Amino acid sequence: MNKLLAQFLIILFIVFEANAQTGVAINKTGAAPDASALLDVSGTDGGVLIPRITSVQKAAISNPATGLIVYDTDSTRFYYYDGGWNAIANPHQLGDGTNYAEFEDDGTLVFYGSSTTYEDLQIPGYSFLKTANSPTLTNYNSTGLYLYLFDNGSTLEEVQFTVQMPHGWKQGSTIYPHIHYMPADATSGNIHWGLEYTWANVNGTFGTSATITMAAPTSAASNRHLVNGFPGITPIVDVNNKISSIMICRIYRDADHTEDTYNGGVYILQFDIHYEVNTMGSRTEWNK
């Protein structure tokens, strides 16, 4: 930022004759320029005003010099040229003016454009609620380690859980559910996974559930950690798009489905949701 301002001062105000011994002083007192300055602008009752132009006028400047600075009245930002026009971020921002992080007046850190990040909301495999049709907790390696095993039988097997959306989540943005799993048998094929869910805000009403599915490939090796994702879920605006909203979920394997071509058991390791983050927490306890 300091370099840009220095370029700005030099380019726009060195329009006066200066000899090789001294710089140029612009002031109302007649004071000489500082010996270290080519241009010394000083005063206590005014500031520096550079050309104020529209975006169209800025784009129409012919062969702009590298370091040229203007004020764009349409976007209300300063811009400098270095082969292309770049917005100069305000003092609260870090970034290029389009994709940036900003500290708002209340101290909240907010990410804009492609500067948002992704986090992982994790539901460990051991935390699932079991039902009458749930997989069996099985000793998977003949020692002391156990995992839930979905077998290849005709009965649809399932686990259930709830999940709450974090305060850093970008409300209304698409979320991406995933399953981490491990084939129990050394044979290839696809596993038909299903995710049934219903979603409601605080003080909202849970409605009819929706279901998404995927055909997740296995490998020809057993005990391999694999992960695959369901289609993304885009919340309904003003219905399921708030922090602290809760999803009631059911994960199942339908081994009889035509997409399920894996003739073996599969262990579930973990369910997770990748979600977009645009703030560090929320501005208040209950509101984004």
- Evaluate if residue 112 carries a pLDDT over 50: yes
* CA separation for the pair 47, 50 (Å, rounded): 10
Q: How confident is the model at residue 284 (pLDDT cuts 50, 70, 90)?
A: confident
- In degrees, rounded to 5, the angle at the alpha carbon of residue 118 between the alpha carbons of residues 113 and 282 is 75
pLDDT at 95: 63
pLDDT at 174: 95
Share above pLDDT 90 across residues of the chain, in percent, rounded to a whole number: 51
pLDDT at 3: 53
Give the range among 26-30, 173-177, 191-195, 251-255 with minimum mean pLDDT. Answer: 26-30
* CATH architecture, domain 117-277: Sandwich (2.60)
pLDDT at 237: 65
Q: In the chain, where are the structural domains located?
A: 2-114, 117-277
Judged by DSSP in three states, 8 sits in helix
What residues does 40 pair with on adjacent strands?
A: 25
Give the range among 23-32, 52-61, 255-264 with minimum mean pLDDT. Answer: 23-32
Instruction: Please give the DSSP secondary-structure letter assigned to residue 29.
Output: S
Report the candidate in 66, 67, 11 with the shortest Cα–Cα distance to residue 38.
Answer: 11
Helix or strand (DSSP H, E) at 246? strand 246-253
pLDDT tens track for 4-21 = 555 555 544 444 444 445
Helix or strand (DSSP H, E) at 211? strand 210-217
* CA separation for the pair 198, 245 (Å, rounded): 11
pLDDT tens track for 186-223 = 999 999 999 999 999 998 899 999 999 999 999 888 88
- Evaluate if residue 258 carries a pLDDT over 90: yes
Report the candidate in 189, 191, 209 with the shortest Cα–Cα distance to residue 199.
Answer: 209
What's this model's pTM, rounded to 2 decimal places?
Answer: 0.68
Can you say how many angstroms the Cα of residue 12 is from the centroid of all Cα atoms in its chain?
A: 39
- Evaluate if residue 93 carries a pLDDT over 70: no
pLDDT at 75: 79
State which amino acid sits at residue 163.
V
- Evaluate if residue 35 carries a pLDDT over 90: no
Across 127-136, average pLDDT: 89
Question: Could you tell me where the DSSP H helices lie in the chain?
Answer: 2-13, 55-59
- Other CB atoms closer than 10 Å to residue 18's CB: what's the count? 13
pLDDT at 44: 87
pLDDT at 221: 84
- 99 or 94, which is more confident? 99
Across 26-36, average pLDDT: 88
Kindly state the tokens that stand for 231.
Answer: 């289609």
What residues does 181 pair with on adjacent strands?
A: 226, 268
Q: Which residues contact 113 (CB under 8 A, 6 or more apart)?
A: 95, 98, 99, 100
Share above pLDDT 70 across residues of the chain, in percent, rounded to a whole number: 87
* CA separation for the pair 79, 29 (Å, rounded): 32
Across 79-85, average pLDDT: 91
Kindly state the tokens that stand for 60.
Answer: 């129409």
Q: How confident is the model at residue 107 (pLDDT cuts 50, 70, 90)?
A: low
Judged by DSSP in three states, 50 sits in coil
